[in-house]
Structure 1
Amino acid sequence: MIDIFTLNENLKNGKAENCYLLCGSDEKLIKDTVNYIVDMNVDKNFRDLNYEEFDGTFIDSFEPVINACETMPLMSSKKVVLVYRASFLNDDKSGNPKLHGENAFKCIYNYLSDVPDHCILIFYDIFKSKRDKPGKRIYKLDKKICVVRADKIKGYQLESRVKEMFELRGKQIGRVELRIFCSLLKENDLNILENEVEKLCCYVLDEPITKDDIKVLFFKNNYDDIFDLTNPIANKKIKESIQVLNELIYKGEKIPYILNMIEKQFYKLLELKIMLHYKEKKQNIMRELNMRSDYAYEINVAQSKKFTFKQLKNAINLCLTAEERIKSSTIDPKTEMELLIINSIVYEK
């Protein structure tokens, strides 16, 4: 049994099989992989002629699938036959009862040795939860066809894969930088990951990869803009704070939105500081405050340490007062925001 990354690498290197079973909890990842195999083997102009699919939930027998596999491709050297939601290949008895019996499974199992060279037969089975595991039938099939565990990889396994991609390009990346980079990746698709690695390598050229390089390319969003504003406030830098505020307004961010995000960040820092005070575990804190990476946790902890409890409570009260004044008076909203920043900074411990 191989993982989705190994499958993608094999396909890219021309190591293809003519029968696959993809199983896992991530249906989107599986569908993307199936489409990739189809696109590699079937001309899009003749896709309707050389691609057939069957819903494993409803087919009465395996004969239509066999007939599709045996039919020669038209205007192409290959055809692809897909049987999706093929839970009858696992031990889940809630699937298709007409194909789940031992006789039906034996028929399918025996045919897999006879799939013609012109056909690529693909099954996929979606697990009901991430905790589900392949059953005995899938392990039995693994001895005959290529079985692929199609789950998003993470943690050390993901970091190891990504590190290999950098090394193939002659680049070394530090452990901290690698962890930050992987925490920001939104897809586990091999091609997308390689594009992101290539982008970073092209950006740094012959220079070492730094955290700032990664942040410039991949970590700039609205939340980071707000973090960039609360950070100089924490460091008591009035001029820099006002400058970041002006940049946000120039970029088109509305003042009520900026105020709301600042308030949320101060609330988050206060909650974080309280949880740290009571020695809550890191994983509990990340889950409660919706921090999706170790890097996000570390930078928020560092920022929270620059405020006292009183300073954070005062900053939140200042946000609430500013919000009320902006809504109920004719005061210039930008001036009110500047006063909020100044008062947050000059407040005594």
Structure 2
Amino acid sequence: MIDLDGLESKMKKGLEGAYVFVGLDEMIISENIDKIVAKTVSGEFKDLNYIRIDGMKTSFDEIMNACETLPFFADKKVVVIYRANFIRDKSDAAGTKIYNQLVEYLKNAPSHCILVMYYLLNDKRENPTRNKKLTTLEKNATVVKVDKLKGERLYKKVGSIFEERGKNIGKVELRYFCDSVENNFNIIEREIDKLISYTEGRDITREDITKMLPHKSEDDVFDLVDFISQKKSEKSIDIMNELINKGENLMLILSLIQSQFTMLYKIKLGMEKGKTKDDLAKEIRRPAFICEKLMTQSRKFSYKQLYSCMKLCIETERKLKSTAFDKKTEMEIMIMSTLMV
């Protein structure tokens, strides 16, 4: 398994065979796939020699036919399978069948085709090195782990997005923005657009960034509640411990969890009344893309479950305010209790 620097070195020597990308940020993955496409196919016949396939809807026959077809007036062609979830460590029967057929096919894949696939990790805690499917694919493909951009590479990339949108941002403000926003370029772009709209006609200040960006702990609590919906107790408690290690107060953590359940309850009620994403976003005072994520999360709970979870939060708050209880233990008990409602 190589990283993006390893891929860059490999591209200088020449491209051939199959490539499998795995990571959290689809934008970074797509940009590097575009580099492979640009280096391999070009000119007026690019559209004929570049094929994209939806990995969530495809079949092995579709993949094989795309790869077997000879390139049109060129030496090579590129076939990209996006969101190839059949590569995940756990997939359904249909996905497992495609994966097994693909493993055999790659042993004698045509040299005129560069096959590129990728899938997105579920969360930052998922470790692709534990995916046995990737280990098997490495025998006949190059597996690329796409990590988040950091340091100067991150600052440079984010700065270029501001420039593309015609907005100047100072170096100090740029670094503060990068250090404050979630390191995901789909989110970064939305937050940049929001910040630009808010500061129209003037320079961006640190206070603007602080005011407009969501608290990072809110993202962790979203993940925590999502793991509760999946009945994953260990991961839920791991996130709580991470928040504590970051210095977050237990009462604040509890308050954020309670607010999350309350929002989900309100959103569920609103959806039942036929309210749109934009309507709900205004009511909860959150951007539309965050509201969309909350709408998806709310569907994982029933009204009874959400009510019970909110009640557990209130009971735990009462206990945390008493010195007679171990606060961390009570939080763990609450999380385990929410998994059982």
TM-score after normalising by structure 1 = 0.45
Structure showing greater Rg = 1
